[in-house]
Amino acid sequence: MIHEDAEILALNKPSGLSSQGGRGQVHTLDELLWAFAKPGKARPRLIHRLDRDTSGVILTAKTKPGAGFLGKALMSRKVSKTYLAIVTPGAPAPKAGAIDRPLRREEIGREAYMRVCDPEHTDAEAAFSRYRTLAASPTAALLELSPETGRMHQLRVHVASIGRPIAGDVRYGGALTVDGHPAPRLMLHAQALVFPHPGGGRKRVETPPPEDMATLLQALGLG
């Protein structure tokens, strides 16, 4: 748990835990939220999702009005999300910028992928992300990523589209080793959320990268 008050509950989701049920997903964060339900009260409601292998901040609402308020804030882009990612090979050029490339969903067997596509494609969905390089070596870089839209796998596909896939992201071309160091899972971490609080004002919640990501950053000289 990162933060709790009368309206919200912010949690630090570990990598490997699905946010909600899907194909073959039995144990999910959504189910685990029953553990936070007060006697006679509903369980907290997820406001957004993170990919199964993404770690970090995830926000829930403890009341129905709070869930409605935060859901509207998310839809109207009043929620600011900041992620950290280890990418290869080295820093992108330019080292900071924006990626404005529409995405479309593609089903391959039982798996869903997102692809960069032409804006005129019938399935195109607008997708916009900002990035900046926080640290870099010749073979890897630590990027701060900020999505302004919320498409599935958006950050993963966007950075791969500029030739800098996220380490451990086998679905979109990420390396499984970086300078001889293993990247056994998607090295993407939801570091911070800034959002309008149902009780008034704006709230920031954040959490540092988990141990496996911090260890890899240190090994690469990026930490």
Catalytic residues: 51
Q: Which DSSP string do the residues of 4-27 spell out, in sequence order?
A: E-SSEEEEEEPTT-BSS--TT--S
Q: For the CA atoms of the chain, what is the radius of gyration? A: 18
For 105, the token pair is 């969903």
Query: CA-CA distance, 170 to 92, in Å (whole number)?
Result: 19
187 neighbors 86 (Cβ within 8 angstroms): yes
Q: Coil, strand or helix: which one is 192? A: strand
Query: CA-CA distance, 13 to 199, in Å (whole number)?
Result: 24
Residue 202, CA distances (Å) to 60, 64, 80, 131, 185 in order: 16, 19, 11, 23, 33
195 neighbors 80 (Cβ within 8 angstroms): yes
